[in-house]
Amino acid sequence: MSKTILLSNLGNRNIRVKNKEYKDDFIPNKKFREETETLLNNYENEKDNIELNILPSILDEYKGKNVTLYLFCTNQTEPNNKQDTLFEAQIIAKKIEENYSDIEVYIEELKEINPTNEEELISVYTMFTKRYLQNECQIVYYDSGGTPQQKNSIRSVLEFYIAPERLNQYYGANENGNTVLRKLERSASEELKLKRQVRNLMNTYHYSSSLVLAEDMNLSKPLIQLNRMAILLWNNLQNDFKNKYEIHRLNKGVKSHPKIDDFKIAYPNEKFDLYYEYKSFLLLNKFHAQNEINNYSGAVLTLQQIIETYTLGRLSELVSIDLANSKRYHIDSETVLDEIMKEFSTEIKNEYGKTVKSLSLPIQLIYLGIHPDLTEEEKSLIDEFKKVISTFKSPILNNQRLDVLRNAIAHRGKGVTENVIDKYYKDLVEKLDTYLEYDSSNNIYDIINEMAADFL
């Protein structure tokens, strides 16, 4: 049987003491520490008058189940120590030893810690969690007592450090004078905090993380569907997106949202009758989103992807094989290289300046730049592509060319920490925005985020 660790903060209502003329058998708060110390010192004579309160429901549930119990108690200095639970914890440990001998009890003393100071409490609970709760045991938190700050702090720490499948949380509900074990649900304020996290994660385009949290919270189906669609688009899985999420098959809430017409730019449409233009357009949306949050490394990689996607797609229209969708690219690219070299060998060799060995990106760009079927607008775009690629002449320093930075990121793990986009690639971005008709007020990811926010 796997180990279970039970955690509980103690308050001034976890024991009752009979025959003392206490109201409802509870020790008065203002003399709690003093009275419990006296009871502890005279335990053998008083133990029959002492009853556990609130705790028995969880102890009965886990009796005989290989449990270790940690009791968190307070121990402050005067004059703030009148309600301290230090001696109560020792009394409770004795009672558990007598009545639940199979449960191992440890007392965790919050020494000179203010039980209303969440900063101090979170520090203590975090150290405890890292020290005792990092193995694979099951964790049970029982909300049996303590200040509101203690309760909030320990739950925050546990929910941060402990995987959901390892953590169960309960409280004791008073029903007809009996304490009944109930699953502890999040409070309204906690729900709002977590929803805010979901919204912030989506607004910074961390869709995988936001989905994990949204599903764990069992949030609305429209929000979760929007999150899943965003993940497919962000990861350039356009085919999976359009096949799985056809407009007529979307969740009713999504379909009826006021921004659904704006959302349709995520699908191939009459604006982009060519699939490579559609993919390039979605990548351009991603690029702007990354640049907006200063993710310059991601923006560089995506800008390079746009060039490669558009270039290969446009080339595939002019040759005998659709390389953009080829399942044997290496073989087919050799065939296409032979094809274009027969037609434009002299022009390509002159501009390339060295032996042509493969259908590399520079060769593709040279081919498109000299092909008579390209419009002037297309050729102007190709010229902008060339300016950021290291093979060609350009006023941009070679170590700041897009393909050089891309290779440094992909192969050497060297990130981009400055805004090279505005510094070196501004003309290229403006040309792409114009050509692909990008509207900064209608970025597909911002549209998704706005729609999702309405379902929080």
In angstroms, the CA 94 to CA 105 distance is 9
- Closest C-alpha among 382, 414, 390 to residue 308: 382
DSSP 437: T
Domains and CATH numbers, the chain: 4-185 (3.40.50.10770), 208-452 (no CATH)
Residues 6+ away with beta carbon under 8 Å from 128 = 70, 108
Instruction: Note the Cα 121 to chain centre separation in Å.
Output: 25
Q: What is the pLDDT of residue 228?
A: 97
Q: What is the pLDDT of residue 128?
A: 96
Q: What is the pLDDT of residue 181?
A: 85
Q: What are phi and psi of 20, to 5 degrees?
A: -125, 5
Give the three-state DSSP class for 87: helix
Q: What is the pLDDT of residue 34?
A: 95
Tokens of 295: 């993710």
Q: How do residues 43-96 score in pLDDT, each as one tens digit?
A: 999 999 999 999 999 999 999 888 999 999 999 988 889 999 999 999 999 999
In angstroms, the CA 389 to CA 378 distance is 17
Longest dimension (CA), the chain: 108
Would you give the end-to-end CA distance of the chain in angstroms? 40
144 neighbors 8 (Cβ within 8 angstroms) = yes
Residues 6+ away with beta carbon under 8 Å from 10 = 71, 72, 73, 74, 85, 88, 89, 92, 144, 145, 146
Q: Using 50 as the pLDDT threshold, list the residues of the chain that sit under it.
A: none
393 neighbors 287 (Cβ within 8 angstroms) = no
Tokens of 63: 């009796």
In angstroms, the CA 224 to CA 378 distance is 39
Q: What is the pLDDT of residue 130?
A: 94
Tokens of 255: 């379909």
Q: What is the pLDDT of residue 328?
A: 96
Q: What is the pLDDT of residue 189?
A: 73
- Pairing verdict, β 178-183 and 167-175: antiparallel
Q: What is the pLDDT of residue 183?
A: 86
Amino acid at residue number 228: R
DSSP 176: T
Predicted model pTM? 0.69
Q: What is the pLDDT of residue 304?
A: 97
In angstroms, the CA 422 to CA 381 distance is 18
